[in-house]
Structure 1
Amino acid sequence: MSRCPEVLWAQRASKVYLTVSLPDAKDVEVKCEPEGLFKFSATGRQGEKYECTLELYGAIAPEGCRTKTGLRNILCSIQKEQKGWWKRILKTEEKPAPYLKIDWNKWCDEDDEEIDSDLSSEDGAASENDGDSSDDDGLLYLPDLEKARGK
């Protein structure tokens, strides 16, 4: 029998960010299907199996989905098929499972994103919201800063 890892989520108009909290994960598999199905499986530190399947609110573009495995978590950037804000993360209107939580470190309100986009446009800088962002967009997570610095 498998367990469900903690999953944190946040969204932007064009992307959904999912952070799976699973230190020292091995055999990580992430699958994104066009109808909005997100499947995750991995093996934990002591060989325990973790799995989770989420039926996301809207359709996604699997070719625009990126995954990055860190020391403490697995970061997934999922491209929405159509740009726009979802009113919730899951298709179902029921209360989400206790392992699915909001990622306040990446959270951005719809109004805040528009302001950030306007400020970036004024500076002539490329915005994360305009679709020209890098593959690592939003994938650097604070606990992995030491790894990024090479420590």
Structure 2
Amino acid sequence: MSSNGKVPPSISWAQRNDVLYIIVNVECKDVDYKFTEDSMFFKGTSVVGNIQHEVTLNFLNKINPEKVITKNISRCLEFTICKKETGPYWPTLTNDKKKPHFLKVDFNKWVDEGSDYDDTTTDFYDYLNNMKTPDGKPSFPDLGDFDDDSDDENIPQLSD
């Protein structure tokens, strides 16, 4: 905790070759944030307890402050930030010598560098919506005749 009584919020992060994801994990009112090529400033008052939160993150490398997408989900703020240069993953988010205690990796968003993950992957509901016919009913692919199953040949019939 800093001497001015302001507490850094819990922050989680993940990255891709060209993007950073930063989540401020506190529900805040009176939110103020600012991005520069080298840093992110965040300030807000928590809804529960009226705690003053403030933090400045000094990034390890440069970002593009004009290409920041913000999403307020009431319980947290999500920032999608374009890196200035596409390239290898950053070993850490900040240029601090020691990892800040409030900064954690978001393993829900994390993808290992060089993996075959595709950001355009759709979730199950999108998959089902894409299977609908023009009249709005789901259309499932023909999976063949399930009645002709070779391992069912010697199964005795159920008795009444």
Please, what TM-score do these two structures have when normalized by structure 2? Answer: 0.67
Match of 2:107, SS state, is coil
Instruction: Name the count of aligned residue pairs.
Output: 114
Between 1 and 2, higher relative CO (CA 8 Å, sep ≥ 6) is seen in 1
Any conservation in 2 of the 1:30–1:67 contact (CA below 8 Å)?
Answer: no
Q: Distance between the aligned counterparts of 1:91 and 1:11, measured in 2?
A: 16
RMSD: 1.4
Partner of 1:73: 76
Q: Which runs of 5+ in 2 are unaligned?
A: 121-160
Any conservation in 1 of the 2:31–2:42 contact (CA below 8 Å)?
Answer: yes
Match of 1:38, SS state, is strand
Give the counterpart of 1:28 among 20, 31, 36: 31
Deviation above 4 Å: which 4+ runs of structure 1?
Answer: none
Identity percentage of aligned residues: 31
Look up the equivalent residue of 1:65 and give its one-letter code: V
Look up the equivalent residue of 2:43 and give its one-letter code: S
Any conservation in 1 of the 2:111–2:117 contact (CA below 8 Å)?
Answer: no
Q: Which runs of 5+ in 1 are unaligned?
A: 118-126, 129-151
Give the counterpart of 1:101 among 84, 104, 110: 104
Q: Distance between the aligned counterparts of 1:57 and 1:11, measured in 2?
A: 13
Name whichever structure is richer in helix by fraction. 1
TM-aligned CA deviation for residue 91 of structure 1? 1.5
Partner of 2:10: 6
Partner of 1:134: none
